[in-house]
Amino acid sequence: MDYRDWEILKVLHSKKNLTKAAKLLFITQPALTNRIKHMQEELGVQIITRESRGVHFTPQGEYLVQCADETLARYHKIIEHVRSMSNDAENEVTGTLKLGVSKFFANYELPHILKLFKSEYPHVEFKITTGWSKDIAQLIHNKDVQIGFVRGDYNNKGLKKHLMFEEKMSVASREPIDMVDLPNLPRIHYTGDFLLKQLIDHWWAENYTHRPYISIEVDQVDTCKEMVINGLGYGILSSGILKDIEDLYKIDLTDQKGDPILRRTWMYYHKESLEWNVVKAFVNFVENYNWK
């Protein structure tokens, strides 16, 4: 079995469907089927069985999938080490960085960071996965990505983390509002990750005895922002989202002690990943980045 075989097993296991897996792997379904057949003949075991709902992995197949992560990680480490050996004299950093990035960070912060990093390390390539912060936290925990950018204080034991910046949470409205009247005013509710919901719900419970009046519910923070800008209700948003918007009334949330309610953005990574020059260079770059 070669590198491509391990990659095939991992993708097929995640999709449980030959057609979908073949599409992600940029091969035809017959080619994928033949490759699986070749693996089974080489190993002398059944790896998958085909069912009406897709494919099912046998116990032997499940074991091979478990080995795939370790094997692929070892392969990438070998490639990185060889490249580092050949580039020591030139002090050049090369390789592919696998990043897991929250949607907000991907839209508002990451492009500028990558632009600056690429100007310093032009031979580095990136593979980026975006999603909810809870999903990105799981990706970095499972080592599916090398570095994760997550909004919220996730308890990931065994990981190194670096606090990048903090954002204040604010009530934002087109028109002036009285916080006492907030339960009776229409709210544009943004369905974010569960830590954000927990943060806002806790603040609300400390200040009000009635549930909020949610007039519109959306699944994207930018949609919520635009609704607020157009005067359809108030929203509870972070300072990063509200940055550079001057014609809104903003009231910062505070706890019972008067301290601001903050949402933090972290960089997570495994300590052993720093053995890869490309990961070490990117971590050092981000840690020294001037967040404004």
Q: Are residues 135 and 194 in the same domain?
A: no
Whether residue 256 lies inside any domain: the answer is yes
Q: Are residues 115 and 238 in the same domain?
A: no
Q: Are residues 173 and 239 in the same domain?
A: yes
Here the CATH number for the domain that contains residue 33 is 1.10.10.10
Residues above pLDDT 90, as percent of the chain: 55
Whether residue 209 lies inside any domain: the answer is yes
More confident residue, 234 or 92: 234
Tokens of 136: 């990105």
Q: Are residues 53 and 99 in the same domain?
A: no
Q: Are residues 108 and 175 in the same domain?
A: no
- Residue 85, pLDDT score: 53
Range of the domain at 238: 167-262
- Residue 231, pLDDT score: 95
Q: Are residues 187 and 122 in the same domain?
A: no
Q: Quote the DSSP letter at residue 260.
A: B
Mean predicted confidence (pLDDT) in 241-251? 88
CA-to-CA dists, residue 71 to 4, 5, 130, 231, angstroms: 11, 11, 24, 54
Whether residue 145 lies inside any domain: the answer is yes
- Angular region, 273: left φ>0, alpha ψ -120 to 50, beta rest: alpha
Whether residue 87 lies inside any domain: the answer is no
Whether residue 141 lies inside any domain: the answer is yes
- Residue 83, pLDDT score: 62
Residue 175: how many CA atoms within 13 Å on its side-chain side? 9
Kindly calculate the radius of gyration of the chain based on its CA atoms and give it in whole angstroms.
24
pLDDT digits (tens, 9 = 90+) for 154-170: 877 778 999 999 999 99
Q: Are residues 172 and 61 in the same domain?
A: no
Q: How confident is the model at residue 152 (pLDDT cuts 50, 70, 90)?
A: confident
Residue 113 contacts residue 289 (beta carbons within 8 Å): yes
Domain closes at, from 29, 55, 70 = 70
Contacts of 269 (CB under 8 A, 6+ apart): 140, 146, 147, 148, 159, 160, 161, 279, 283
Mean predicted confidence (pLDDT) in 203-212? 94
What pTM was estimated for this model as a whole?
Answer: 0.70
Total domains in the fold of the chain: 3
